[in-house]
Amino acid sequence: MASPELNVIVYGLGAIGGTYAFFLSRSQSVSLSVIARSNYDAVKKNGMKMQSLGLGKHSFQAKHVFKSAAEAGEKLSYDYVICAHKALNQDAAINDIKSLISPQTIIVIAQNGVGNEDPFRVRYPENSIVSCAIWIGADQPRPGEFVTRNREHTDLGLFPNPEIDAALERSRVETFAALLKEGGLSVSLEENIQIRKWEKVVCNILWNPISAITQQNMGVPFLESSEEAEAFGKALMLDVIAVARKSGVPLDDSLADKYIAFTKSLGSFQPSMLHDLKAGMPLEIDVIIGAPMQKARQLGMEVPSLRAVYAPVSALNGKLTILGA
């Protein structure tokens, strides 16, 4: 492993950020910092706890706990910045992390959705960007306490920077993968991470907007609610698969049946969008629903099922945004 220690900071200590912090804390090659907001007091005072599907119960600490990126940037320089915040108001978050970024910093985008990388590239054209497709069911039942369910797996790949030597970029993503693997996380390195990210969006497009519209758990509660439910879910996924293919991402229609079967196997569960709705928080629609919808418009595609969920979820999110303002 790399020596000396690498300074790694997690920006956004929600369920996914906390899970990444846990696995990174187990690597002997990492000096871990975190930026906590709503859970700052609990994490600063008590450290963090993890109930891991694969590794059981643990208490763990970050070497540094900061309340803001500005504070963190004053103290240290960072080799890896893990952006695990929700993909809401991306421009503000991308600007907020500027104090953490030097030309040598590797930015890791640990978020749902597609199209996340573009605004980071515009703002930080000199940096390597690693993008993730996250297959982790995680929750934060109490501040600073994290739980993982279902899978604990991440796909990683580069969002290539033509201004940086390809071998150097490859070594950077391989190093990050090694840090996570040392901590016990299942990791796959992908030559084309966009394939895996669009596959995750196909899955998310079934889970998230429908659960928000119906305000009920996903899985069996929806798919067996009527004769039309499964057919509609499949049509929705096929719309997104078609958009991905026309955008140059080779996905197969069989993915829809695969994810319907996978969703049924989970029984009944609460997707992140339903969780946010119940909490009165804005919904992460831009990168999950908005990006495929925008691509379809640009390509002149008819996507009736995608449009049928995009319109009501956008209206619902608008209401939440107004109420939270």
pLDDT per residue over 150-201, tens digit each? 789 999 999 999 999 999 999 999 999 999 999 999 999 999 999 999 999 9
So what's the pLDDT on residue 88?
Answer: 87
Q: What is the mean pLDDT of residues 234-242?
A: 98
User: What total number of domains does the chain contain?
Assistant: 2
So what's the pLDDT on residue 1?
Answer: 41
Q: What is the mean pLDDT of residues 189-214?
A: 96
Domain finish residue from 169, 191, 213: 191
Q: Is 206 helix (H, G, I), strand (E, B) or coil?
A: helix
Q: Residue 118: give its domain's CATH number.
A: 3.40.50.720
- Residues 244 and 2: their CA atoms lie apart, in Å, by 37
Do 154 and 291 lie in a common domain?
Answer: no
So what's the pLDDT on residue 324?
Answer: 58
- Residues 231 and 40: their CA atoms lie apart, in Å, by 44
Nearest in space to 148 (alpha carbons), one of 267, 57, 266:
57
CB atoms within 10 A of CB 182: 16
Domain finish residue from 135, 161, 191: 191
Average pLDDT, the chain: 95
């600063």: which residue's tokens?
44
Q: Tell me the pairing of strands 128-142 and 145-159.
A: antiparallel
Do 227 and 304 lie in a common domain?
Answer: yes
- Residues 322 and 319: their CA atoms lie apart, in Å, by 5
Q: What is the mean pLDDT of residues 23-37?
A: 97
- 46-82 pLDDT tens trace: 999 999 999 999 999 999 999 999 999 999 999 999 9
Sign of the four-CA dihedral 303, 298, 281, 193:
positive
The pLDDT-based confidence of 319 (bands split at 50, 70, 90) is confident
Do 40 and 185 lie in a common domain?
Answer: yes
Query: What does 2-53 look like in DSSP terms, one character per residue?
Result: -SS-EEEEEE--SHHHHHHHHHHHT-TTEEEEEE-STTHHHHHHH-EEEEET
So what's the pLDDT on residue 310?
Answer: 96
Q: Residue 240 belongs to what domain range? A: 194-324
Considering the domain boundaries, does residue 1 fall inside one? no
Peptide bond into 221 cis (omega under 30): no
- Residues 114 and 293: their CA atoms lie apart, in Å, by 11
So what's the pLDDT on residue 321?
Answer: 74
Helices (H) and strands (E) in the chain, counts: 13, 12
What are the Cα distances from residue 65, in Å, to 44, 77, 141, 181, 323?
Answer: 6, 15, 20, 23, 31
Q: Write down how long the chain is.
A: 325
- 255-293 pLDDT tens trace: 999 999 999 999 999 998 998 999 898 999 999 999 999
- 32-51 pLDDT tens trace: 999 999 999 999 999 999 99
So what's the pLDDT on residue 150?
Answer: 78
Alpha-carbon 59 to chain mean position: 23
Q: Is 137 helix (H, G, I), strand (E, B) or coil?
A: strand
Q: Residue 278: give its domain's CATH number.
A: 1.10.1040.10
123-132, 142-151, 157-166, range with the lowest pLDDT: 142-151
Tell me: pLDDT of 3 over 80. Answer: no
Is 209 in contact with 313 (CB distance < 8 Å)?
A: yes
Domain finish residue from 166, 191, 216: 191
Tell me: pLDDT of 142 over 60. Answer: yes
Radius of gyration of the chain, Cα coordinates, nearest whole angstrom: 19
Do 215 and 280 lie in a common domain?
Answer: yes
Residue 296 amino acid letter: A
Strand partners, 154: 134, 187
CB atoms within 10 A of CB 46: 13
Residue 15 amino acid letter: A
Which phi and psi angles does 166 have, rounded to 5°? -60, -40
Do 122 and 256 lie in a common domain?
Answer: no
What are the Cα distances from residue 153, in Å, to 82, 102, 148, 283?
Answer: 16, 29, 11, 24
- Residues 214 and 274: their CA atoms lie apart, in Å, by 9
Sign of the four-CA dihedral 7, 180, 114, 112:
negative
So what's the pLDDT on residue 2?
Answer: 42
The pLDDT-based confidence of 325 (bands split at 50, 70, 90) is very low
Do 176 and 283 lie in a common domain?
Answer: no
